[in-house]
């Protein structure tokens, strides 16, 4: 099953007899504290207009737990996540489509969490809300309670030790911007650089100027050049497990399964005992 859906495909499904549950996960990585700007309010953006029938899900409180030494966006409590999904109308047997404001990172985080928690039918709207040319609504729907119960599992999830080992034995991709990987700048976390052995693979290079993913063949070629293949374990990390989920999604579009280190650089760099590599080379 494809991990993404086009706007035309979504419009057709919404007009059909079995429309998917729609989740609005608009969110933005905030540097407001340092830039002197108010933080982005996804809920306010949702109230101003959203896809018909979509329910807002908050990334910070429902798709992540409070940071406690496990990175900036650790896994959410299963009960909190499950309750949020049921409130939004998510059921185990019903398809789900997730979208955000266009970058795709937050939608990919919701996609990854639902898939990892056992939901079999989740897709991301390619290009997000900006790609939608249909009507929007401001009314907040009240869907029937869903029945989805997360089945937390270990498959597809890396911890710090697992990420370090995979950098040595398989392929660990760093989805952050190249300058953060090289350690030239670090606007958020304690120190710049990367996990030794990790390969720089900015997730921004997986999409075109319109925010949509590159064709599957082009993505597959890009990841092959980086050393990925279906017969090699592949892992991904980023700053806090959000943009890394977007790279896992891109790999899925390319037909390559990958694991996610949710704690990512924000967890790794918080421990001064963990090694840090700098510069353009993995080691």
pLDDT of the chain along its 283 residues, tens only? Answer: 799 999 999 999 999 888 999 999 999 876 544 455 678 899 999 999 999 999 999 999 999 998 877 889 999 999 999 999 999 999 998 999 999 999 999 999 999 999 999 999 999 999 999 999 999 999 999 999 999 999 987 679 999 999 999 999 999 999 999 999 999 999 999 899 999 999 999 999 999 999 999 999 999 999 999 999 999 999 999 999 999 999 999 999 999 999 999 999 999 999 999 999 999 999 8
With beta carbons less than 8 A apart as the criterion, state whether 112 and 245 touch: yes
Residue 49 lies in a domain: yes
pLDDT of residue 26: 97
In a domain, 198, yes or no: yes
231/173 same-domain check: yes
Whether 116 and 199 map to the same domain: the answer is: no
- Answer yes or no: do 50 and 165 share one domain: no
127 and 161: one domain? Answer: no
Does a structural domain hold residue 185? Answer: yes
Q: How far apart are the C-alpha atoms of 61 and 263, rounded to whole Å?
A: 16
DSSP conformational letter for 108: H
pLDDT value at position 36? 58
**For residue 217, what is the domain's CATH number?**
3.40.250.10
Shared domain for 119 and 161, answered yes or no, is no
User: Does residue 278 lie in a domain region?
Assistant: no
Closest CA to 229 of 171, 165, 164: 171
Domain boundary among 114, 131, 148: 131
Burial (CB count within 10 angstroms: exposed 0-12, middle 13-18, buried 19+), residue 15: exposed
199 phi, psi to nearest 5 deg? -110, 135
SS (H, E, C) 137-154: ECCCCCCCCCCCCCCCCC
What does the pLDDT read at residue 283?
A: 87
Q: Which of the listed residues 115, 131, 147 is the one where a domain comes to its end?
A: 131
Whether 172 and 126 map to the same domain: the answer is: no
Q: Is the dihedral of CA 25, 257, 82, 146 positive or negative?
A: positive
- Structural domains counted in the chain: 2
Distance CA 189, CA 180 (A): 10
> How many whole angstroms separate alpha carbon 38 and alpha carbon 139?
25
Whether residue 117 is found in the same domain as residue 165: no
At 40 the pLDDT is: 86
Domain boundary among 72, 96, 131: 131
So what's the pLDDT on residue 154? 61
Alpha carbon distance 191, 266 (integer Å): 9
Nearest residue to 226 via CA among 263, 252, 251 = 251
Q: Are residues 100 and 217 in the same domain?
A: no
Residue 150 lies in a domain: no
Q: What is the extent of the structural domain holding 22? A: 4-131
Residues 31 and 120 in one domain: yes
Which distant-in-sequence residues (6+ apart) come within 8 Å of 218 by Cβ? none
Catalytic positions are 238
Whole-number Cα distances in Å, 141 to 13, 76, 117, 122, 217: 18, 24, 25, 20, 38
Residue 282 lies in a domain: no
Element (H, E) at 24: strand 21-24
Q: Quick one: 117 and 11 in the same domain?
A: yes
Question: Which residues, in sequence order, are CB contacts of 35 under 8 Å at separation 6+?
Answer: none
> What is the rounded CA–CA span in Å between residue 107 and residue 100?
5
CA 249, CA 254: separation in Å to the nearest integer? 9
- Please tell me the pTM assigned to this model: 0.95
Coil vs helix vs strand at 9: helix
Predicted confidence at residue 240, as pLDDT, reads 95
Asked if 270 and 190 touch (Cβ cutoff 8 Å), the reply is yes
């Amino acid at each position: 099953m494809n991990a993404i859906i086009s706007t035309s495909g979504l419009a057709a499904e919404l007009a059909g007899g079995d429309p998917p549950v729609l989740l609005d996960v608009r969110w933005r990585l905030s540097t407001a504290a340092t830039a002197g700007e108010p933080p982005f309010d996804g809920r306010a953006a949702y109230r101003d207009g959203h896809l018909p029938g979509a329910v807002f899900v908050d990334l910070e409180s429902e798709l992540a737990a409070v940071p406690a030494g496990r990175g900036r966006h650790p896994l959410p409590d299963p009960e909190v996540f499950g309750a949020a999904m049921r409130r939004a109308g998510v059921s185990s047997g019903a398809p789900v489509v997730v979208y955000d404001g266009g970058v795709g990172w937050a939608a990919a985080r919701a996609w990854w969490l639902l898939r990892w928690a056992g939901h079999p039918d989740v897709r991301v709207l390619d290009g997000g809300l900006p790609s939608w040319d249909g009507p929007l609504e401001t009314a907040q729907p009240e869907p029937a309670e869903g029945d989805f119960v997360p089945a937390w599992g270990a498959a597809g999830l890396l911890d710090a030790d697992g990420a370090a080992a995979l950098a040595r034995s398989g392929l660990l991709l760093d989805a952050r911007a190249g300058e953060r990987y090289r350690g030239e700048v670090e606007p958020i976390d304690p120190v710049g650089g990367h996990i030794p052995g990790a390969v720089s693979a900015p997730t921004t290079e997986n999409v075109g100027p319109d925010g949509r993913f590159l064709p599957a063949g082009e993505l597959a070629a890009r990841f092959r050049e980086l050393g990925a293949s279906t017969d090699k374990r592949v892992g991904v990390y980023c700053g806090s497990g959000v943009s890394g989920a977007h790279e896992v999604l891109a790999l899925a579009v390319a037909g390559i399964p990958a694991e996610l280190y949710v704690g990512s650089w924000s967890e790794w760099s918080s421990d001064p005992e963990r090694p840090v590599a700098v510069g353009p080379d993995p080691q």
